[in-house]
Structure 1
Amino acid sequence: MGLLSQGSPLSWEETKRHADHVRRHGILQFLHIYHAVKDRHKDVLKWGDEVEYMLVSFDHENKKVQLVLSGEELLETLQEKGERTNPNHPTLWRPEYGSYMIEGTPGQPYGGTMSEFNTVEDNMRKRRKEATSLLGENQALCTVTSFPSSSICRRLGCPGFTLPEYKPSPVEGGASKSLFFPDEAINKHPRFSTLTRNIRHRRGEKVVINVPIFKDKNTPSPFIEIFPEDDEAAKASKPDHIYMDAMGFGMGNCCLQVTFQACSISEARYLYDQLATICPIVMALSAASPFYRGYVSDIDCRWGVISASVDDRTREERGLEPLKNNSYRISKSRYDSIDSYLSECGEKYNDIDLTKDKEIYEQLLQEGIDHLLAQHVAHLFIRDPLTLFEEKIHLDDANESDHFENIQSTNWQTMRFKPPPPNSDIGWRVEFRPMEVQLTDFENSAYVVFVVLLTRVILSYKLDFLIPLSKVDENMKEAQKRDAVLQRMFYFRKDICKGGNAVVDGCGKATGSTEQTAEEYALMSIDTIINGKEGVFPGLIPILNCYLENMEVDVDTRCSILNYLKLIKKRASGELMTVARWMREFIANHPDYKQDSVITDEMNYSLLLKCNQIANELCECPELLGPAFRKVKYSGSKIDVSN
């Protein structure tokens, strides 16, 4: 969740008075870091994943499921039993936005050997077991991206979806003023409620989230919700859309992220660019959030929801009023896709108008920062700090980075470029952020291993996935739509050989080209991008398989990797469902569903109970995982992946 400072949080008006101070000193802190480590090379590959969890409680008698607001207490116990007792404990636990959420990571970063891939799932299992062992009766640790909620959440001012139950407080003085989401569901750390309140105050109104509703046979047309108690909601809500009004509807969702340490700043910038084009593809593949506020939506991913949930832009910055009190028109929320490539090879594809702080940009150039990195940082710093603690205003810029991280960590983009912390042995890093969390540790491991393995292939084969950034933005919009993995087409580069370097075609032969065709990219299905199509694109899975064939990998690790890749392959082809599609079919086939896009308490209970059973391997789910998803066979000479 980013920087977690301790202290006395300032109000928005107080924070605003210090905004220029934070920006000015944030840049000085960045410059100190940059000049100290710009020439640092030969850092070893390290990487790690982050899995976010929800705590739920099942009321089996009344067939109801609720979010348990005990994340802070659980976190304290996990940390006390874990890292505080043993610095080498295999798991680490951190807070998240919701008081019903926690985040788990491996205790130590994974290294660069192939055998590390065989430990990811085991570590995720340790996390789930460790946290679950501390839960109460009928409570569970769930890896679901969004809590579907139920009918109670649609009736204004009614408690119901949290345990203990609280009523929302849509009155002045509350952090979110939400009609639906109680402030008690926000983590008690002052950063989170302060973020919520200051986003609303800076924006000048509540955040507005409108998600298109799925039009089923009996869904009213037009679908219109009435909010007589709230003029703001009545004006903000749109016909045929599910209306939400709080940061918790976005930041209260769960995701899966991976961070990589590169060997140098140039390698980090190269990976940042290449992976940015992969973000929408993997997001569509991991789609897992089709339900919001007790309704079936017409989207499968949370990205647009979370983007709107933290959109602090004023009406002027959104272009709804002439600029008077603000400096810029800003085209996106601070939670969105990246706006510029960082490597030299990406510069010609930077076709998005980039709003940047010109004074900061010139300052960075004068300090020896190159044009591409300078504009990236100057673009991040058009934003205001959203939280500031009284004790953290005046810092030692040569040895601290809180002001830089204040801005950096509240630019939540698909990729994050992360300079080393001051005076540390940590290297330059990039964070891959668009994935939705999956139901099982096996699935989450598969997506993590796929992305990490892809970075190894990108660097080894010097692959080039770059296309105009505006096309990546179009892909991001397509990726969120219902069943995008099967129904949508995505812009992707046709020839991914960079400067004639060898790459692998679908038959396993090395091919290359020193010249690009006039049309460098084309619209492709995700099946083509992942699995390949003869004469069109070699496919990422065949390239990864070729890489594996040329690596020395022990049998157990090779089998694990191939099992993971098989899942990705079959999700891309449609042979296996995405979590979002499986959830839709589960609800559609529920005996209580009236084809009206409404999810009742009992339907919500049945769905979450089934998700929990699948996650804990208490039942099979061949539609999601296949009939024998672990049974890769090894004969002594050949590995059979035909299943």
Structure 2
Amino acid sequence: MGLLSEGSPLSWEETKKHGDHVRKHGIQQFINQYKKLKSRSRDILYWGDEVEYMLVKFDDEKKTAKLSLNAGEVLDNLQQCEKLCPQDHPSTWRPEYAGYMVEGTPGKPYGGLLAHFNVVESNMRLRRKEIQQALGPNEVPLSLTSYPRLGVGNFSDPETKTTPETGASKSIFFPDEVIFQGHPRFRTLSRNIRQRKGGKVEIQIPIFKDKKTPSPFIEDFSALGDDGEAARTAKPDHIYMDCMGFGMGCSCLQVTFQACNIDESRLLYDQLAPLCPIMLALSAASPVYRGYLSDIDARWTVISQSVDDRTDEERGKKELKNDRFQIHKSRYDSIDSYLSPIYKCYNDIELVLDQDLCDELQKGGIDETMARHIAHLFIRDPISLFSEKLNQNDEEDTDHFENIQSTNWQTMRFKPPPPNSSIGWRVEFRPMEVQLSSFENAAYVTFIVLLTRAVLSYGLNFVIPISKVDENMRTAHKRDAVNKDMFYFRKDVFTDCSPADVAKCMASGKCERIKCSNIQDEYTQMTMNEIFNGSDDFPGLIPLVKQYLNSVDIDIDTSCTIQNYLKLISKRASGAEPTIAKCIRNFVTNHPDYKQDSVVSEEINYDLLKLIHEKTDNCETLSTDTKFSSKTKDDIPTALSKAEKYLAQKNPQKNMTNGHKS
């Protein structure tokens, strides 16, 4: 979630008043840190994952599965080990936006040893076990991207009520009490985003049009306390949501990499950026929002819209008078530029930036490409500011820089070393949807980490124009995009440069191999299967990873574990195994209570989450062998795809035909 400063939050009016102050000092803080640390090198290739969990409480008598709002108490329990043994704890726990969420990471980062891939899954399963031990009766942790009935009726335990006329969000669906209460940042963000925008956020997601879905699909919000805003704003045939919580209340899977030096971190940032939409589609796990089946499979656009605080002037709906820029994207969106100077000709979309700050950065010794990136981030206002953090020492502090940096929630994040820390230059890979089991999460994490090793070892190049990455992001959300759509990808990923040569190119800011005149010939559209498994004309990402593995020493156990992970990725990409989103969609449409009207009822929600928990729990706890769940045949997607059998046993009187009730 980003920077968690302690203190007294300022109102939006006070925060906006200090916007120039934060930007000015944030830029100076970055310049100072850059000068101190730009030559830092030889850092270890550390990496680590972040898994976000939802706390769910089952009532088996009433057949309900509600979100349990006891994250604060659970976190107090989970963080005891970290406090008692700060140098030796297996997992680290942090709060997230909602009171039903906790975020877990390894206690220490993983290093460059291949053997570390053999403990990723076991550490994830340990985290799930730790949460479970901190929960009460009938409460379970689920690594679920989106809770299907978020914002529908009484969806939380304890029960909460909306306050449309008061509070931080003024949502007609999402009570303020559901926001995590243990830190003021989250409520402050909700309030300030709404006030900065000049009204509630507007999330519009196309509904899945089934046989009995009303056409046009238009809801009546009057019984929920709507003052007319929802009725005016909601688009026909769309699921309307009005609060930051609908996006930030989703869970994700993220990976952070520490590079050897700043140039390597910029290179990784650029090479991973085109993979963001690809991995978003491959990990798609969220087809249901506010109790309705949507016509998308991934959460990213929901979060993007949920924190879009642009005013009408910034959106281009009105002439600029009070605001400084027209801004093309939400502050939660895909990146707008590559960081390496040698790839600047691939930055083919307009980069809105603060030119004065860009000039100041360049005067401070920052190269043009990096200066433009930072000046682009700093077109945003700070949206959460604490009085105790207003005046800082720019030589030692970085809170003003991080204030704006950490509220630009983009697909990739370039992260400078913290002050007075042993931590190096890092990049964060942010697009992936969290998977249901530790095995799946470990597989996705392991794949993307191994791919970075192949990139650095072979000097691979995945860069395509930023405009095509944006097109891929739009494609990635589509229903069953993995099987039905094609994505732009680079034809020739092999460069003529060794990693050392690439470093020289980075230093000089130019590369003889990059010919800006023929960029359109460097990429084409490929299927997901071709991108991952290869074709006659393209080697495939998985074969490239396997080639890298064949070139290094690796023990048999670790090799077996990795091969099982790669097998999952390969099957998902080929369509041989469905994404979580497709599994959930199939479960809903095959459920006896489904009326072919796009509605996900309380009963469907209960049965779905109950089945996910039972199968996940079985997978996580049957064995302490670190490789057990990577070898089990009855994994979560397979279990979900057996929904018809499960439901037939539950309701033998009802049969399934063509995905619907007969």
TM-score (norm 2): 0.90
Query: In structure 2, what is the equivalent of residue 124 of structure 1?
Result: 124
8 Å contact from structure 1 (residues 576, 623) kept in 2: no
C-alpha displacement of 1:613: 1.5
Query: In structure 2, what is the equivalent of residue 551 of structure 1?
Result: 552
Equivalent in 236, 244, 250 of residue 253 of structure 1? 250
- Mapped to 2, the partners of 1:617 and 1:345 lie a distance apart of 50
Query: In structure 1, what is the equivalent of residue 646 of structure 2?
Result: none
The superposition leaves residues 441-484 of structure 1 with CA deviations (integer Å, 9 ceiling, x where unpaired) of 00000000000000000000000111100000000000011001
8 Å contact from structure 1 (residues 457, 463) kept in 2: yes
- Mapped to 2, the partners of 1:196 and 1:621 lie a distance apart of 41
8 Å contact from structure 2 (residues 41, 260) kept in 1: yes
8 Å contact from structure 1 (residues 567, 625) kept in 2: no
- Mapped to 2, the partners of 1:75 and 1:233 lie a distance apart of 35
8 Å contact from structure 2 (residues 147, 250) kept in 1: yes
- Mapped to 2, the partners of 1:255 and 1:300 lie a distance apart of 14
The superposition leaves residues 66-112 of structure 1 with CA deviations (integer Å, 9 ceiling, x where unpaired) of 00000011001110134434531110000000010000000000000
Letter in 1 for 2:442: S
Counterpart mapping for 1:151-166 below 5 A:
153-154=151-152, 158=153, 160-166=154-160
Q: Which ranges of structure 1 fall in alignment gaps of 5 or more residues?
A: 503-512, 628-643
Counterpart mapping for 1:488-567 below 5 A:
488-499=485-496, 519-534=521-536, 536-567=537-568
The answer to which structure has the higher helix fraction is 2
Equivalent in 468, 471, 477 of residue 471 of structure 1? 468
Q: Is structure 2 residue 330 aligned with structure 1 residue 333?
A: yes
Equivalent in 179, 189, 194 of residue 186 of structure 1? 179
Q: Is structure 2 residue 214 aligned with structure 1 residue 213?
A: no
Q: Quick one: structure 1 residues 232 and 38, their matched pair in 2 at CA, closer, same or farther if it must change by over 3 Å?
A: same
Letter in 2 for 1:428: W
Could you list the structure 1 runs, at least 4 aligned residues long, displaced by more than 3 angstroms after superposition: 81-86, 513-518, 618-623
**Structure 1 residues 584-593 or 617-626, which shifts more?**
617-626
Q: Quick one: structure 1 residues 263 and 606, their matched pair in 2 at CA, closer, same or farther if it must change by over 3 Å?
A: same
Counterpart mapping for 1:430-509 below 5 A:
430-499=427-496
8 Å contact from structure 2 (residues 459, 497) kept in 1: no
8 Å contact from structure 1 (residues 577, 623) kept in 2: no
SS at match of 2:254: strand
- Mapped to 2, the partners of 1:26 and 1:515 lie a distance apart of 34
Query: In structure 2, what is the equivalent of residue 95 of structure 1?
Result: 95
8 Å contact from structure 1 (residues 93, 103) kept in 2: yes
C-alpha displacement of 1:625: 5.1
8 Å contact from structure 1 (residues 65, 608) kept in 2: yes
Q: Quick one: structure 1 residues 607 and 322, their matched pair in 2 at CA, closer, same or farther if it must change by over 3 Å?
A: same
CA-atom RMSD in angstroms:
1.7
- Mapped to 1, the partners of 2:162 and 2:418 lie a distance apart of 39
- Mapped to 1, the partners of 2:563 and 2:416 lie a distance apart of 33
Query: In structure 1, what is the equivalent of residue 616 of structure 2?
Result: 615
- Mapped to 1, the partners of 2:326 and 2:594 lie a distance apart of 45
- Mapped to 2, the partners of 1:194 and 1:411 lie a distance apart of 16
Letter in 1 for 2:529: D
Q: Quick one: structure 1 residues 514 and 270, their matched pair in 2 at CA, closer, same or farther if it must change by over 3 Å?
A: closer
- Mapped to 2, the partners of 1:379 and 1:389 lie a distance apart of 23
**Structure 1 residues 545-554 or 610-619, which shifts more?**
610-619
Q: Is structure 2 residue 205 aligned with structure 1 residue 204?
A: no
Query: In structure 1, what is the equivalent of residue 382 of structure 2?
Result: 385
**Structure 1 residues 543-552 or 294-303, which shifts more?**
543-552
Q: Quick one: structure 1 residues 358 and 136, their matched pair in 2 at CA, closer, same or farther if it must change by over 3 Å?
A: same
- Mapped to 2, the partners of 1:130 and 1:78 lie a distance apart of 7
Query: In structure 2, what is the equivalent of residue 110 of structure 1?
Result: 110
Query: In structure 2, what is the equivalent of residue 632 of structure 1?
Result: none
- Mapped to 2, the partners of 1:260 and 1:445 lie a distance apart of 15
Query: In structure 2, what is the equivalent of residue 624 of structure 1?
Result: 637
SS at match of 1:548: helix
- Mapped to 1, the partners of 2:184 and 2:57 lie a distance apart of 26
- Mapped to 1, the partners of 2:592 and 2:83 lie a distance apart of 46
- Mapped to 2, the partners of 1:483 and 1:182 lie a distance apart of 32
The superposition leaves residues 311-343 of structure 1 with CA deviations (integer Å, 9 ceiling, x where unpaired) of 010010001111010000000000000000001
- Mapped to 2, the partners of 1:324 and 1:226 lie a distance apart of 36
- Mapped to 2, the partners of 1:615 and 1:255 lie a distance apart of 17
Query: In structure 1, what is the equivalent of residue 579 of structure 2?
Result: 578
Q: Which ranges of structure 2 fall in alignment gaps of 5 or more residues?
A: 500-511, 620-631, 641-662
- Mapped to 2, the partners of 1:425 and 1:600 lie a distance apart of 50
C-alpha displacement of 1:623: 7.5
8 Å contact from structure 2 (residues 75, 94) kept in 1: yes
Counterpart mapping for 1:600-611 below 5 A:
600-611=601-612
The superposition leaves residues 194-238 of structure 1 with CA deviations (integer Å, 9 ceiling, x where unpaired) of 000000000000000010000111111111112233311111100
- Mapped to 1, the partners of 2:386 and 2:127 lie a distance apart of 32
Number of aligned residue pairs: give it: 609
SS at match of 2:430: strand
TM-score (norm 1): 0.93
- Mapped to 2, the partners of 1:253 and 1:132 lie a distance apart of 20
